[in-house]
Structure 1
Amino acid sequence: MLLTVTHTTRYAFADSVTHGLQRLRLKPKSTHGQEVIEWDMDLSGAKREAEYDDQHHNHTELVSIEPGVPEVVVTCRGTVRTMDNNGVTGQHTGHMPLWCFLRPTPLTRAGNRVRSLVASIGVDRHDTLNYLHALSHAIAEQVEYLPGTTDVTTTAEQSLTAGQGVCQDHAHIFISAGRLLDIPMRYVGGYLLMDEKVEQEAGHGWAEAYVQGLGWVGFDISNAICPDERYIRVATGCDYSEAAPVTGIAIGAGETQLDVHLSVGQKMLGGQQQSSPGGQQQQMQGR
């Protein structure tokens, strides 16, 4: 499947910025069943300072905010060819050893609710793949998908206790539970072409578990499926904070207003395109 993406992130500042840096993980890579045909990123109000691959092999760019600008706009446009591998990403690559994906993080540290969830799954834990599918269904049943009830700082334990959250929270609960069973788990951020829906989130999140004999296998708890050719993988991490598309700091910015627009479409024969617009919040710290 040939997917096209246009993703614009705009930060408007109430006061004059004296210094600001942003870390961008917005460019997908040609790996794990996808090929990046083209990808461009335009900046307004900021300039590139460096680019590198981080510890998770994510393409990362550091940009500085130009002092005094009223806003920063980051626009990405690209085309990616994807394929359906039944959710299987494959064997582990990159700089991080598998044991790193077993350690708890502040967002995924298990509490009593997560431990109870793990104990409640009536499937043999040694049948790892079936257990993970059962775990995914249990999380979807217990945590209602409800935008606006959580944010980027909400932990797995908090969202499971509240019984509400979004894709990020579903993924964090799944990751937290899997690590209790010594299964390497990681967070994946990217894009999703929605079926028969006009609106969608500006970015999507799901989880991957390392299953012996298969390698990394994806689970989209919010949509109750394993990722297929409608998904574009952009960044991975031990939790959302390590795969967030935009993070940064702006000194002197005052109140910051965030506006995000996303269009993900399928490129059809004859140059036609089907697309779905939408928006969501991303992470930026200001002070």
Structure 2
Amino acid sequence: MPVRCDTLHMDNVAARTPPGPRFALAVQMKNGPHDPDPFFEELLLGLEQALDQHDASVLLRRFGSAAEELAAYRDWASSGMLNAVIIADIAENDERVLRCRELGLPVVVLGGPHIEGVSLVEVDNSGAMLMAVEHLAGLGHQRLGRVSGPAQLHHTQARTRAFGEALARFGVAGTSLEGSYSPGSGAQRIRELLGADPRPSAIIFDDTLMAVGGLAAARELGLRIPQDLSILAWDDSPDARLAEPPISVVSLDVFELGQRLAQVLLRTHAGDLQTVVHVPTARIVVRGSTAAPPAKA
């Protein structure tokens, strides 16, 4: 099976991986070095299964800073041990992509935007956000809150634009606050949203871990979920399924996304730049955290 690791040196990786192409998935740590990110864990499983069929391997590397990540690209390029890298959570004018291009290290960007000279696997964040707002508006919610990811990220910006467009389309009001993907930021932002007058009757979180933190904070404030407040999170995970109540989610088939990403990696390694847009399709998984809003007194 392909090797999964965070901090192994490349000579150790070389000794333990299949003889085919070697790739790396670079991830910025969001919640500390020991907290896994459910999205990337599932993505890696899909990548591994697809790459294993081609005797290829993928290295998952978590970084604590941008400087550390940029240094790793330099080391990977000079060693010649990697054939291509995946860069996720792209920001505007992202220095990582520019650095890899300068180093001659092939790149697959996950989550857009399109950048000249690199492959792209895009996800339909706009359509998924429209689906989320439509679901809550369809339950009767007239005022929504949202806790987003960091504002500089491309996918956050796409969701923010779509959130505003969806509010107008379905005739509901809404407020969006920026979070950091940590449970603590979810708790902090939900307190701010619930302190407004009038307060939202439903809140969308751009991340499951923030939703778990927000759910706990709402219950500390004495609110019942979903009788007093509905919560809808982005991406499915064990954290969402094991919450009390289980959290309704905007679900992407992240495993399938990993498999599609593997195909693009292999084609990029062969010199064929790819642009794959809007995969996979999102769906709403309804669980115990969403319901119609409370009746007005």
Q: Give the TM-score band, short-chain normalised.
A: under 0.3
For normalisation by structure 1, the TM-score amounts to 0.24
Greater RCO (CA < 8 Å, at least 6 residues apart): 1
For normalisation by structure 2, the TM-score amounts to 0.23
Larger Rg: 2
Higher strand share: 1
